[in-house]
A = this chain, B = another copy of it.
Amino acid sequence: MRYPSREQLKDAANRIAFGIHHTPVLQSGYFNHTFRSDLFFKCENFQKVGAFKSRGAINAVFSLSDEAAANGVATHSSGNHAQALARAAALRKIPAYIVMPENAPKVKINAVKGYGGQITFCKPTLEARESTLKQIIRKTGATEIHPYNNLQVIEGQATAAMELLEEHPDIDLLLCPVGGGGLLSGTALAAHYFSQKATVIACEPARADDAYRSFLAGKIIPSTQPKTIADGLLTSLGDITFPIIRQFVSKIVTVKEESIIQAMRLVFERMKIVIEPSAAVPLAAVLEKKIDIAHKKTGIILSGGNVDLGHLPW
């Protein structure tokens, strides 16, 4: 099993500091009172490109040798990783080749273009994405930066929890959403190295519960037809993220769609901040009483804030 060392996480934090926000940690009197807890929300919705993905992308891009970097980086993604990678490549002044499905929303296409990303469209199937990406890599010599199954990406994502634990070293519980497991494995490593006591619990939509089932089964069970409003959590675990999660995450709980929407709206109303559905999944688990946070210092990673405000789910 390969996983980043304590020193590698520290190096990542130093490497990316120039290009990310050290995001604020917010508290809410309402939530503390309601849940008789002491809640600390790490606001990655305020992060560059609106999501924690900036961290991993910059760390991966700036970990490349000059020779490798010169050929650029490539990925297939229609989400936050695509924007984050395009921005990270722009910071290093190298090309970013992004494969996107031809039905990707215009706003996401324009965001990637805005950062100078070079987009190749393909049919909206995983096969088409992967074969198109392979072609591009063969032609350009670009390095693939996988959205989560990549050690440097994991190191970068770990820095969100590292910042949170540095400010609040006595946190008991860390709640984190899980999709492909990049943020989760990074968070779990951060807790392992930089906390004396923090337990990491992952939270997943019941309608995309492949991580939950994989965790129970002890082997990766790929996601089949996931259908959740939390569109950042549709992906399956990878062979790098899964072993880290098995070793360092204490449990995975699942939540209903209604709870995700309720949690998301509560955060808008009570904390006056904008989060995307994926970011609301840990609070949804608290609302469903799947996790007992009473009288515990509880950290929640609010993973991002990129949501279509013209189609809010309530």
Contacts and interface: CB of A to CB of B under 8 A. Distances in A.
Interface of A: 24, 26, 29, 45-46, 48, 50, 265, 268-269, 272-275, 305, 309-310, 312, 314
A314 B309 contact: yes
Given A272-B45, A274-B273, A265 B305 contact: no
Nearest to A27: B21
A212 to B, nearest CB: 29
Contact of A309 (B26, B45, B265): B265
A272 B309 contact: no
Nearest to A276: B272
Contacts of A46: 26, 272
B272 A268 contact: no
A23 to B, nearest CB: 10
A314 B268 CA distance: 16
| Residue of A46, A48, A272, A275 contacting most chain B CB atoms (<10 Å) | A272
Given A273-B273, A309-B314, 8 more contacts: A29-B48, A268-B274, A269-B274, A272-B273, A272-B275, A273-B274, A274-B274, A312-B312
B309 A269 contact: yes
A241 to B, nearest CB: 26
22 contacts: A24-B24, A26-B46, A29-B48, A45-B272, A46-B272, A50-B272, A265-B309, A268-B274, A268-B309, A269-B274, A269-B309, A272-B273, A272-B274, A272-B275, A272-B305, A273-B273, A273-B274, A274-B274, A309-B312, A309-B314, A310-B314, A312-B312
| Residue of A24, A46, A273, A309 contacting most chain B CB atoms (<10 Å) | A273
7 closest pairs, A vs B, by CB? Answer: A272-B305, A272-B274, A45-B272, A268-B274, A268-B309, A273-B273, A46-B272
A296 to B, nearest CB: 24
Contacts of A269: 274, 309
A1 to B, nearest CB: 36
Nearest to A274: B272
A302 to B, nearest CB: 10
A29 B24 CA distance: 16
A65 B45 CA distance: 45
Contacts of A274: 268-269, 272-274
A273 B46 CA distance: 9
Nearest to A275: B272
Contacts of A48: 29
A310 B268 CA distance: 11
A269 B29 CA distance: 25
A42 to B, nearest CB: 13
A279 B48 CA distance: 24
A58 B272 CA distance: 22
A306 B34 CA distance: 20
A273 to B, nearest CB: 6
